[in-house]
Amino acid sequence: MSGFFETIGRGVVGLVDYLGHVTQVATESFQSLFTQRWRWRENVYQVYNIGVTSLPVVLLTGAFIGMVFAAQTYFQFHKVQMDTSTGPAVSIALSRELGPIITSLMVAGRVGAAMAAEIGTMRVTEQVDALRSLAVHPVDYLVAPRLIAMVISLPLLTAMSIATGIICAYVVSVEVLGIDGAYFLYNMRKYTEAEDIYTGLIKVFIFAFIIVFISCHKGLQCEGGAEGVGKATTEAVVNSSISILITNFFATMLLSKIIPP
């Protein structure tokens, strides 16, 4: 029995220790943003790296999520003669939940893994120590530009993903499933409100911080050569994804109080 409690205790201590380290990276990042100079060249490169290069995969995901969600919604609504409600159902779901979550998970998988791997490799090859020996704080050089880029890129990627999803849902609904296009658009505009868009984008803003802090922390703490880099990369993606899903629930509940649906 004591072994059981010991295991639980170790897990809790480990979790608190981990959260403490991530918080430390977050604190140092904010300190860097407000007290150190911004590296504009590095920021622009990271916006390209995180935002522009993620665009194809994010648009493709948004398109297919929009199309399949439109088809499934139509199949159910058609049974009760509510075909034209497919438009608002798709647009609200994409704006509030599917767009932000799917885009954030895709970016966590693609960019979060790259961040952890790149910084982790720098750590195990002493490049992070070299930065420190040259009087440059690793957070200033490695984390702050990625944070700025992610906060700019992720909301834009999400907005584009949602727009693509809605366009593709319209094409499938009208051209394949035979819904009247005018009613699809009319109902969509009638029932989709600005709050639906804000809610999604506010959540994405939070997810951007989560992805950067967790992935960069994993990279900066990486130890043990190639195996360590692989482990850090996997953990960065898993931890970011789980944190996004958990935070999404609480953010949704909180935002529903502030901005009622």
Name the residue nearer to another protein (CB basis): 43 or 127. Answer: 127
Name the residue nearer to another protein (CB basis): 46 or 91. Answer: 46
Measured CA to CA, the distance from residue 252 to residue 244 in angstroms comes to 12
Query: Least CB distance from residue 235 to another protein, whole Å?
Result: 20
Query: Least CB distance from residue 240 to another protein, whole Å?
Result: 23
Query: Least CB distance from residue 181 to another protein, whole Å?
Result: 49
> Does 13 engage in binding with another protein (CB under 8 A)?
no
Contact string (CB under 8 A) for another protein, positions 91-130, x = contact: ------------------------------xx--xxx-xx
Query: Least CB distance from residue 112 to another protein, whole Å?
Result: 19
Name the residue nearer to another protein (CB basis): 136 or 167. Answer: 136
Find the binding residues for another protein in span 129-158 (CB under 8 A).
129-130, 132-137
> Does 16 engage in binding with another protein (CB under 8 A)?
no
Whether 56 and 103 have beta carbons less than 8 Å apart is answered as no
Tokens of 123: 């750590």
For another protein, how many residues bind (rule: CB under 8 A)? 13
Query: Least CB distance from residue 125 to another protein, whole Å?
Result: 6
Query: Least CB distance from residue 38 to another protein, whole Å?
Result: 13
DSSP of the chain: -HHHHHHHHHHHHHHHHHHHHHHHHHHHHHHHHHHS---HHHHHHHHIIIIITTHHHHHHHHHHHHHHHHHHHHHHHGGGT-GGGHHHHHHHHIIIIIHHHHHHHHHIIIIIHHHHHHHHHHHHTTHHHHHHHTT--HIIIIIHHHHHHHHHHHHHHHHHHHHHHHHHHHHIIIIIS---HHHHHHHHHHH--HHHHHHHHHHHHHHHHHHHHHHHHHHHT--SHHHHHHHHHHHHHHHHHHHHHHHHHHHHHHHHHHS--
Q: Tell me which residues touch another protein (CB under 8 A).
A: 121-122, 125-127, 129-130, 132-137
